[in-house]
Amino acid sequence: MTKTSTDPAMLAVWVSMADHFLDTETRHDLPLTALRCVEAGLTSIQAREVWQHDVSPAVGFNLFDIAGEWAGWDEEWLVARIAEARQSRWHGPGRWRKLRLPMPLMGGQWLAIERIIEFLRAMPDASAQKRAAADLTFLARHLFDFCGKDLSSLASEDRERIRGLYPAPFDSLLGSALQAQERAAATQRMQRALAGAAK
């Protein structure tokens, strides 16, 4: 299996999911990963199977590597690793369950992706899905302290639309990806960002 023989939408899902196993902050991109799944036509159940049985076996080792990969995965290498995982006797529902990664952080990230998939699938069309994913990503950059842009620089209609996502439904969609010890600081960042936008 090579990069050229892989469905482009599915490749985008694999790459986006695999990025969350890198040794760097990627949680701000959880909404974009959910969007890739929706664009590929995956339900949240189908996307969970891809996360558990294709991507996790291919790159999950990086979570345990002291000097793990952080710069990004080579796409052809990733496709080959997933092909190997699919040929494994452990591949598929029920078979790999015993080997699933018991990582609370990754479980929280997956739960956020799953909830956002359902949120996006309820949107009326692809344009609304893309806008909602971009808006959630904008807020997630503040939540996870990853170079969040100043909301006051946005057009007033964009600013109001984004402010309307917090605290609900934003907290229920992305809150599971926060670790308990970072929740208070993240909440303060969000409140400061939104208060600044209101001035």
Region 58-84: what's the mean pLDDT?
88
pLDDT given for residue 5 in this prediction: 53
Contact call for residues 56 and 93 (beta carbons, < 8 A) = no
The rounded mean pLDDT for the chain is 87
Q: What is the pLDDT of residue 143?
A: 96
Tens digit of pLDDT for each residue in 8-35?
A: 999 999 999 999 999 999 999 999 999 9
| Mean pLDDT on 45-72 | 88
Q: Is the dihedral of CA 160, 155, 178, 55 positive or negative?
A: positive
Asked whether the predicted pLDDT for residue 113 surpasses 50, the reply is yes
Domain ranges for the chain: 3-198
On whether the CB atoms of residues 17 and 56 are closer than 8 A, the answer is no
3-state secondary structure of 104: helix
pLDDT at position 102:
45
